[in-house]
Amino acid sequence: MIQNRLERHGFGIGGAAGLGPPVGLVVRGGGGACEAAISGYSTRFMIGGMATPQGGIFALGTASHAYLEFDALRPEVADQLIAAVASLREPRTTMGGVNLVAGFRPELWRDAMPDDAPAGLEGFNHDLVGVDDFVMPASQHDAVMWISGSAYDVVFDMAREVIAELKELASVAVETSSWPYRHDRDLTGFIDGTENPTLIDAPSIALVRDGAPGASGSILLLQKWSHDVNAWESLPVGRQEQVIGRKKDDSAELADKPADSHVARTDQDTLGKIFRRNMPYGTVMDHGTMFVGFGSDQRVLMAMLESMAGVRGGVRDALTFYTRPLTGAYYFIPSTDGLRRLSET
């Protein structure tokens, strides 16, 4: 029922499950191989026998985003909620196309699809307490929908449609609207994503490897960070650069970056690699960064948070004195094949 109604409206899981094109620049693939397509159409078969990831993870360049986090209305409908979300299908038209990335609280997905769940994956179930009483709050919900498109009207319409379709099963716990700021800057004014992998390398970093439980799925850390604009903007640019560890104009890494700088605390050579799709969020009066980080291994994402909080080595990330996490949740983003298998059971 949900599937049919959404298909009529041209909505679905963006990227790889059916006939419609993902919006933006996309690379599909998993494990050692990948297939690149620029605004290309997607295919219904598995690539070289591998499961196909949700293409929206890699669809760069979309101008408007919404993140909807849902809670099941009652524990006993959680299974139905997962099945309903999994039944959403690919857009059928190129006009007004949107990407929809769907994910689930890891424990819920494991209950529904034990053989397609990465071992040990768990929700953000406890606050992360760092040094100086710094806290990253846990705000785990049951499901997430990340909707992105070329403009807010199509994102808005789709978000309303999805909410209406799920209303017997789930309510929206958190809604966040996001948009890119000055091409690739976050609202600190710095370029965000410099050390991201290329779209060719991103699948092997973001996706669970072929053959492992949850293959071609991804682990998403979604964390909303509020910026203390006044405190940040009172800093001279030279001090802001020390906080980030990079130059503000061109993102060049400082040769002598401080140990508490953000890029020192999240150094991927030490902690492992992730794929970030961060977006600014909010209003003129109240805004910040929606941290959207994908990885194949939850331990890397956890280690980065611990490092930022000062749990590893006692040094707290300087950026956390100017930004504050309001939410924190992990979601498993299954492959489209995993979603299809669930929706067919």
* Chain positions contacting ligand HEM, by CB under 6 A: 186, 188, 190-195, 221, 223, 225, 244, 246, 251, 262-263, 266-268, 274, 289, 291, 293, 301, 304-305, 323
Element (H, E) at 264: helix 262-265
Give residue for tokens 């060049």.
252
Residue 320 or 336: the one with the smaller Cβ distance to ligand HEM is 320
Contact 222/327 with Cβ under 8 angstroms?
A: yes
Q: What distance in Å separates the CA atoms of residue 30 and residue 41, rounded to the nearest whole number? A: 18
- Which residues are known to be catalytic? 192
Give residue for tokens 């760069």.
60
Q: What distance in Å separates the CA atoms of residue 62 and residue 314, rounded to the nearest whole number? A: 38
Q: How far is the CB of 268 from ligand HEM (least distance, A)?
A: 4
Q: How far is the CB of 185 from ligand HEM (least distance, A)?
A: 8
Residue 207 or 301: the one with the smaller Cβ distance to ligand HEM is 301
Tokens of residue 31, six digits: 């494990």
Q: Is the dihedral of CA 241, 246, 247, 251 positive or negative?
A: negative
Residue 178 or 289: the one with the smaller Cβ distance to ligand HEM is 289
- The identity of residue 290, as a single letter, is M
For the CA atoms of 58, 301, 286, 244, the dihedral, rounded to the nearest 10 degrees, stands at -100
Q: How far is the CB of 14 from ligand HEM (least distance, A)?
A: 24
Give residue for tokens 């297939």.
35
Residue 59 or 191: the one with the smaller Cβ distance to ligand HEM is 191
Q: How far is the CB of 244 from ligand HEM (least distance, A)?
A: 5
